[in-house]
Structure 1
Amino acid sequence: MTVRAGFKTLSLVLIGGFALAACDQPEERVDRAGQLGQAVIDQITGKDARPSDPRDALKRASVEGRAFAGKLQPTFLPTLPTTGERRFAIGSIVAKPRDLPPPVAMAEVMAAPEMAMEIVIDEEAESRIVILDEATMAEAEVSPEIIERIERPQALNRKRVTVIDPRVEAPPKAILEPGPNLPRAPLRDRLRRNPDGSSIDELQVKRVETQQERYDKLPQLKPQVAQRAITMRQDALERQLQAEDRMIETARKYGVAASIQRSRSGQMVIEIGADAMKPTQFTGEFSPRQLSAIEAEETVCDQGAIADGTASAIMAMDCVIEDLQASGEFEYVEKDYIFEHQMIRRPDTPVTPVAITPNDPLFSLQWHYQNQSDSPGGAGFVDFWTREAVQGAPEVVVAVIDTGLDYSHPDIKNSPNLVAGWDMVTDPDVGNDGDSRDGDATDPGDICPEKGRMENSWHGTHVAGTIGAGLTDNGQGVAGGAWNVKLVPVRALGKCGGRLSDINDAIRWAAGIIPEFDALGNEVWNDNPAHIINLSFGLFKTCPASMQDAINAVTAEGVTVVAAAGNNRIPTQFFAPASCQNVITVASGDARGYLAPYSNYGSAVDLIAPGGDLSRDDNGDGNPDGVLSTKLSENCLDPVSGSAVAQCYYSYEEGTSMAAPHVSAALALIKAKRPDQTRLELFDTLMAGLTPVAEVQCIGECINYPGAVPTEADENLCLRPCGAGLLNLAGVNLSED
């Protein structure tokens, strides 16, 4: 049972950041709301902001601001997933040491400078080391430039990349304390020679820093960032170094090169094999790495094949994972799985286009924002905007972890709602932008011939537009759910998907608890820590331990995480991140308020939100009942003239990817009106307004939905559990009684 959280009724109504007392005169309200759009001012003064004929708004808009893509499609059910379709990055492993001491909040250290002596301040917490195989070690003895090429720091956007000699033991504990010293000798130092031909001593004890010197190294953080930002304790670093020793020992056992990336979050990423010596960020000098493989039904570590050198890269990876798991030293060790966005990609089936001459502007085509009295599957945004007199607040921040953003989109390029994001895609082949992680969250496209996808999805732009990335009430295009919030785009998906390890880092960075690094190695924190994080992607797998770890870390800081249920018509317990704990799992509904035929279902689903169905036109407007939002598209239509348009900036799409951002936008609106509500209170408030669903809204033919339970009335019809009800902001009443 969902219980609505109690909250105090305030005597002031917050509108766009202005407090309006009940006794204010209309003229005074207009003065105070000067930063709001004209439509909101008209609403306050009692004027009707809508034109007498909705077609007038279409006629006034440019073709660029009104043309859209989307046509009715044949009924379509996605194929059921199998474990044989689950992909992972070859050679990449995600792990975390067991019993790792918890991180320390930067705010605590700033308040108690003496704590600086107990934490890791410099780049050592985020360091990457590379261990060579024997053949490359021999080559390096002759050509030391091999080491310099691998260690090139600007190529990895990290402060330090160090090739170490695995034959050298770690220095004694005393060497590590109290300053941030290298845990092992850089191989290039061992390869340099003194004039007499003797080796330079690789273990040089650095001078001890004073408390003030170490405190001065702390980054200068904004107060709201410092509250969430974390750093690592010295004992935690030592625990990571112990785990690192185990990884080095295991790599040597199987004769493979390895690259180990440490993070202050506790997550460690190990890449093994030849590509570990060729960091993925190098795009010119090294051949592209093999991107991914399909997970077999069963994997077996063949020690004989390892010994005689006939083992594949995948088998070597399986052996390393098996050994590390068996050591008992790790909380989790798992493959670096590849997640995909949850927008339905239909087969290319020719369909006769339907002539569209709607009577309403583009907003009137967005049935998903309408009240349920007008559109049964709508989410009641219109009622909330009007009754609560709030369309958002710039203090509320929503992060969209996705494919990035089309910053050139005409409804987005001048939007004040956007703040700085980050590109978290490590592998440039996946990133499709020629580089690795950096501060540019632009979506360069994600065409994926390997999976038969020959067009860019612009997925993140569509999702962000639904939340409110673009300009609303500007006489062009479409509206967003929350007109006046801050949106942080965090790019973690690229060509053919996104790595688990990148997504985990993206979740933490979006919440403002870990930094990223620029090309010079400087820490870059999210200066706008998210209150809400939207995850519109998925993988046919139960929640990976490392992903749950990342989600737990941010929800502990009060962040609300919203996840798409997935489009595989299976129970969500087999799908991530929908099956993770501490997320709001959102299934997809159509314009009738029925569970969409492609949507996942099950006990983990919290609610249904508008996700659309391109095969239906239940409102009879001549258009498919998809979700209309911002997206560069082709083969479009001008709704005024009825003529074809080659390219447009708005499109109907369907999927649980489209449902999740409606919930994120709704939570942002509630947070704008009730900024003091906690994560759990926000959830309770949202759930208290749901419209209950009848059994008929969540049934389907049993043959199409494995795991669903037959209904009592008809054994051929199965109930697909679809949560507590339909998203309905009209049922959320935060105003004074």
Structure 2
Amino acid sequence: MSKYSGLPHAVVALWLVVSMPVVASDGTTKRYIVHFADPAFATTATATTAAVRTPSQRGLPAWHLRRVAAGGELVELSSAEAEVMAASQGVLAVEEDRMIDLAGIGIVDPLWRRQWYMHDAKVGIEAPVAWRDTRGEGSVVAVLDTGVTPHPEFDGQLLPGFDFIADAHAARDGDGRDADPTDEGDWKDPGDCGAKQFSPSSWHGTHVTGIVVARAGNTPGIVGVAPLAKVVPVRVMGRCGGRLSDLADAIVWASGGEVAGVPGRAPVDVINLSLRLPGACGMTMERAIAQARSRGTAVVAAAGNDSIKASAVSPANCPGVVSVAALARDGGMASYSNYGDGVTVAAPGGTLWGMGVDDILSSVDAGERGRQRPVFKYYAGTSMAAPQVAGLVALMRSADPLIGVDEITAQLVDNARPLPGPCPKGCGAGLIDAGATVSAVIEDSVLPRPGS
């Protein structure tokens, strides 16, 4: 399907006239996602927007980049043009194509001891109890993150993924979107992305993937929450973070929707989003998530590491998302975790104090910039709590492939257990309980479903 499908031919012709972005009088432009009530309104809105330009720019159209799979047109405008576009008839929303950050991690020394968050009697998620019934066979999880690096924990665990980073400079792989979701590193030199000092590559997507599906039985190694499930690695975060438009396309694609120029795939069972964007859930994100849920894909998101209300951070605050807060080693809310009414459930995220044994151990690469060799490392954050819930959803779908997205949320909430520590600001329904949740799913799977 053409990326201009659905637009009036006259508007397509206008947008294709210029091959370079229009520059405002102050020399700056930004990328925006424009949502029209009907494609026919694009003609009027474009003409109205052109009227605010300087004499040398008048008559030039907005630079159209592409259509966003969730809905909306990606264009480049000055801030003044964006204001006029937003006020034009038939324009539902004009959202800046903002940069998205990882939900956040705290990095401590890589010291391998044990995965307390899986089985600790007080604060673990009781994964071994759930494994009596299933280890995730047949389930598929999409991890939308920095990509993935080769690691022994992933032998046989990965399905073909995709790199959705459209900007070759941000992707660091020499091209734009492609079928290789390998993480090229997200290190920062001084001056990069506002950084004051060098920071090494996080290999964030590799760490998250290990929490979900690290295979059992290899030595030395760890085990994921759903060790017999599969992961589709989807790269949306690169140099300086990621773009909202790329993330929205990736959500649509992972859930089985159509994205121009990208081979389709079957819907995954659950999408993990260990990333965050401050502010309300915009129309682009809301539409992408709604489409995913309509195709039967559950969406799990980290609540964020800002120590603020989770309702102030997207995509955790989007309708239908399972939002996950982080607990410290003592079972209380982690000091960094977001909180409040926007949280659905909680899972261990680590304390971020001391030598690391109280944090979450998983797979990473040893390289500070590019890849060197696979190792293990302790991180802490809601980024580590969310994939535990995504892994549990994989177990639930394995136990009952017909369970719906709303029922998934209800089972997570109904079977969470009371928090083993304090969370006066609100950590949702409580600590996830993999054993109790999977048992409840199996019991309820024999009951008649609505409409059956």
Q: TM-score, normalised by structure 1?
A: 0.52
1:465 counterpart = 2:210: yes
Distance 1:397 1:252, change over 3 A: farther
Residue of structure 1 equivalent to 2:241: 497
Residue of structure 1 equivalent to 2:416: 690
Distance across 1 between alignment mates of 2:164 and 2:375:
26
Q: Is the 8 A contact 2:69 2:260 kept in 1?
A: no
Distance 1:592 1:126, change over 3 A: farther
1:525 to 246, 249, 264: 264
2:418 aligned partner, one-letter code? P
Q: Is the 8 A contact 2:45 2:91 kept in 1?
A: no
Residue of structure 2 equivalent to 1:534: 272
Q: Percent identity?
A: 34
Residue of structure 1 equivalent to 2:136: 392
Residue of structure 2 equivalent to 1:572: 310
Distance across 2 between alignment mates of 1:533 and 1:474:
26
TM-superposed CA distance for 1:393, in Å, is: 1.4
Residue of structure 2 equivalent to 1:218: none
CA-to-partner distance for each residue in 1:189-210, whole Å, 9 max, x for gaps?
A: xxxxxxxxxxxxxxxxxxxxxx
1:327 counterpart = 2:88: yes
Aligned residues: 412
Residue of structure 2 equivalent to 1:201: none
> What SS does structure 1 have at the residue aligned with 2:398?
helix
Residue of structure 1 equivalent to 2:30: none
Residue of structure 1 equivalent to 2:62: 258
1:34-49 mapped onto 2 (5 Å cutoff): none
1:247 to 26, 43, 46: 46
Distance 1:345 1:475, change over 3 A: closer
1:263-274 mapped onto 2 (5 Å cutoff): 263=68, 265-272=70-77
TM-superposed CA distance for 1:321, in Å, is: 1.6
> What SS does structure 2 have at the residue aligned with 1:269?
strand
1:481 aligned partner, one-letter code? V
> What SS does structure 1 have at the residue aligned with 2:314?
coil
Distance 1:418 1:184, change over 3 A: same
TM-superposed CA distance for 1:323, in Å, is: 0.6
> What SS does structure 2 have at the residue aligned with 1:662?
helix
Residue of structure 1 equivalent to 2:176: 436
Residue of structure 2 equivalent to 1:652: 378
Residue of structure 2 equivalent to 1:233: none
Distance 1:123 1:425, change over 3 A: closer
2:145 to 397, 402, 412: 402
Residue of structure 1 equivalent to 2:31: none
Q: Is the 8 A contact 2:123 2:329 kept in 1?
A: yes
CA-to-partner distance for each residue in 1:573-610, whole Å, 9 max, x for gaps?
A: 21111111110000001222211000000101011101
TM-superposed CA distance for 1:681, in Å, is: 1.4
1:561-600 mapped onto 2 (5 Å cutoff): 561-600=299-338
Residue of structure 1 equivalent to 2:127: 381
Distance across 1 between alignment mates of 2:352 and 2:165:
31
Distance across 2 between alignment mates of 1:736 and 1:585:
25
2:156 to 402, 416, 424: 416
1:67-82 mapped onto 2 (5 Å cutoff): none
1:250 aligned partner, one-letter code? T
Distance across 2 between alignment mates of 1:262 and 1:667:
31
CA-to-partner distance for each residue in 1:521-565, whole Å, 9 max, x for gaps?
A: xx5112x32110111000221212211121112112221110100
1:650 aligned partner, one-letter code? F
Distance across 2 between alignment mates of 1:185 and 1:379:
52
TM-superposed CA distance for 1:124, in Å, is: 4.2
1:355-366 mapped onto 2 (5 Å cutoff): 365-366=114-115
Residue of structure 2 equivalent to 1:482: 226
Residue of structure 2 equivalent to 1:714: none
Q: Is the 8 A contact 1:404 1:491 kept in 2?
A: yes
Q: Is the 8 A contact 1:377 1:594 kept in 2?
A: no
Q: Is the 8 A contact 2:249 2:259 kept in 1?
A: no
Distance across 1 between alignment mates of 2:290 and 2:342:
17
Residue of structure 1 equivalent to 2:199: 454
Distance 1:728 1:457, change over 3 A: same
Distance across 1 between alignment mates of 2:99 and 2:115:
32
Distance across 1 between alignment mates of 2:152 and 2:172:
23
Distance across 2 between alignment mates of 1:435 and 1:580:
31
Distance 1:252 1:477, change over 3 A: farther
1:332 aligned partner, one-letter code? A
Q: Is the 8 A contact 1:404 1:461 kept in 2?
A: yes
1:725 counterpart = 2:430: yes
Moved over 4 A (4+): 121-124, 182-188, 734-737
> What SS does structure 2 have at the residue aligned with 1:629?
strand
Distance across 1 between alignment mates of 2:373 and 2:156:
25
TM-superposed CA distance for 1:429, in Å, is: 1.7
Residue of structure 1 equivalent to 2:101: 340
Distance across 2 between alignment mates of 1:186 and 1:546:
23
Q: Is the 8 A contact 2:147 2:163 kept in 1?
A: yes
Distance across 2 between alignment mates of 1:397 and 1:543:
26
Distance 1:443 1:245, change over 3 A: farther
Distance 1:251 1:501, change over 3 A: farther
Distance across 2 between alignment mates of 1:723 and 1:583:
13
CA-to-partner distance for each residue in 1:374-394, whole Å, 9 max, x for gaps?
A: xx22111011113x2x11112
CA-to-partner distance for each residue in 1:102-145, whole Å, 9 max, x for gaps?
A: xxxxxxxxxxxxxxxxxxx5564289x9xxxxxxxxxxxxxxxx
1:633 counterpart = 2:366: yes
> What SS does structure 2 have at the residue aligned with 1:666?
helix
Distance across 2 between alignment mates of 1:591 and 1:533:
26
1:367 aligned partner, one-letter code? W
Distance 1:343 1:264, change over 3 A: closer
2:384 aligned partner, one-letter code? M
Distance across 1 between alignment mates of 2:15 and 2:227:
54
Residue of structure 2 equivalent to 1:142: none
1:170 counterpart = 2:10: yes
Distance 1:731 1:403, change over 3 A: same
> What SS does structure 2 have at the residue aligned with 1:508?
helix
Q: Is the 8 A contact 1:572 1:603 kept in 2?
A: yes
Q: Is the 8 A contact 1:125 1:264 kept in 2?
A: no
TM-superposed CA distance for 1:249, in Å, is: 4.6
Distance 1:244 1:668, change over 3 A: farther
TM-superposed CA distance for 1:685, in Å, is: 1.9
Distance across 2 between alignment mates of 1:257 and 1:324:
12
Distance across 1 between alignment mates of 2:47 and 2:352:
52
TM-superposed CA distance for 1:427, in Å, is: 1.2
Gaps of 5+ in 2: 19-34, 445-452
Rg larger for:
1
Residue of structure 2 equivalent to 1:295: none
1:323 aligned partner, one-letter code? V
1:397 aligned partner, one-letter code? V
> What SS does structure 2 have at the residue aligned with 1:125?
coil
Distance across 1 between alignment mates of 2:116 and 2:435:
14
Distance across 1 between alignment mates of 2:271 and 2:10:
40
Distance 1:430 1:673, change over 3 A: same
